[in-house]
Amino acid sequence: MSHKKNVTKEDVEREYLSVPNNLDQAAEALSVSKKTLSMYMKKLGIKAKNHTWNVSSRDLSTLARKEYIKPAIIKEEYLEKRVNMFIAAKTIGCSVAFLRRSMKEQGIGAKERCWNEERTRKIPILNDKKWLRKQLKTKSQGQITDELGTSQGNVAYYVSKHSLALPDEDLSRSIREGLKKKYPDGRFGKNASNWQGGERKTGSGYLSIYSPDHPNCNAEGYVMEHRLAMEKKIGRLLKKEELVHHKNGNKSDNRIENLELISSKGKHTRDHFKRSHRTELAELETARLTKLLIDNGIDPSIDKAKTKI
């Protein structure tokens, strides 16, 4: 698309302001980009048309097609009936959001929460301030909700109604106190916030399993998986001095065929030393043979199957 160097006020009037064209259509008629047309309009001090110019678009607009719901209708279909806002909006033929907006713009407040007698009669004990205060001393709102079989919002409403809730600025303290009531002994195992199914991987690569009833578990209730696997095989608890060695060196491979029971740490260290010593001897032998090949004029990188010494 070629850019027209000069877009005049008359051009904008002819192709945009005086005809039912949007900005894209006007730009195409003037053979310029929408961005260029907007730039010239800003330079010439011409504002974009009001969105109501497009009749078809205006007719599709809910807010333009409807005025706010009249107070008499709101009173008849919502305030004076034992229905919630969702049912009232459906009867009126609008969305809940539009009903709320109509009420807000005209200064009409929502009904009191206790309008639904069927709901309040289900949990009458919540109206007892002394009982609710006593419950909150040892239980969280969530626990009270579960015991009464109601919603947490319902319990929260009565807590607020009886002025038993903490101020907004103490919300974090309120959460801590609620968790302390719900978990008086602390949040361990499945109750912990970082619960990952009872399996963890240590920094050194070992896997540990949550086993709080095991006599040798750590402070968090975990036991190394390779020790549990060996105990299951031999049918007894391992002694503290006994170690479980991973034959292939992979610390997370806890298949029983990859595990070896070692009686003490000293024996484990000696075994590792012997293995490293054998590796060192193998490396020395490899170096000797490589030198022998070179001395005989043979490239050690050539395939052995094709080379005869």
Report DSSP letters for 197-252, one per residue: SSEEE-TTS-EEEE-TTSTT--TTSEEEHHHHHHHHHHTSPPPTT-EEEETTS-TT
Residue type, 32: V
The domain boundary residue, chosen from 182, 208, 223: 182
Residue for token pair 């992979």: 250
Distance CA 128, CA 136 (A): 12
The answer, yes or no, to whether residue 59 has pLDDT greater than 50, is no
Q: Judge whether 191 and 183 are in contact, CB under 8 Å.
A: yes
Distance CA 291, CA 299 (A): 10
Distances (CA, A) of 181 to 129, 139, 147, 162, 177: 19, 5, 15, 20, 6
Burial of 144 from C-beta contacts in 10 A (0-12 / 13-18 / 19+): buried
Residues 235 and 203 reside in one and the same domain? yes
pLDDT in tens, 247-268: 888 888 999 999 888 876 655 5
> Who's near 82: CB < 8 A, 6+ residues apart?
115, 116, 117
Residues 122 and 159 reside in one and the same domain? yes
Please name the helix (run of DSSP H) or strand (run of DSSP E) that holds residue 299, with its range, or none. Answer: none
Residues 177 and 215 reside in one and the same domain? no
Distance CA 113, CA 202 (A): 52
Burial of 224 from C-beta contacts in 10 A (0-12 / 13-18 / 19+): buried
CA dihedral for 149, 154, 158, 164, sign (positive or negative):
positive
2 found inside a domain = no
4 found inside a domain = no
Among 65, 63, 57, smallest CA distance to 21 is for 57
Residue for token pair 């289900």: 122
Residues 206 and 220 reside in one and the same domain? yes
105 found inside a domain = yes
In total, how many domains does the chain have?
4
19 found inside a domain = yes
Phi, psi of 169 (to 5 degrees): -70, -15
pLDDT in tens, 100-133: 888 888 888 877 766 665 555 567 788 888 888 8
Average pLDDT, the chain: 76
Residues 107 and 121 reside in one and the same domain? no
Residues 79 and 129 reside in one and the same domain? no
- Residues spanned by the domain of 204: 199-263
What pLDDT is stored for residue 274 in this prediction? 58
pLDDT in tens, 125-158: 888 888 888 888 888 888 888 888 887 777 888 8
Three-class SS state of 207 = strand
Give the side-chain half-sphere CA count within 13 A for 239. 7
Residues 123 and 178 reside in one and the same domain? yes
Stated pTM of the model: 0.32
Mean pLDDT of all residues in 200-229: 87
What pLDDT is stored for residue 305 in this prediction? 47
Phi, psi of 243 (to 5 degrees): -120, 155
What pLDDT is stored for residue 161 in this prediction? 81
Long-range contacts of 23-29 (CB under 8 A, 24+ apart): 23/48
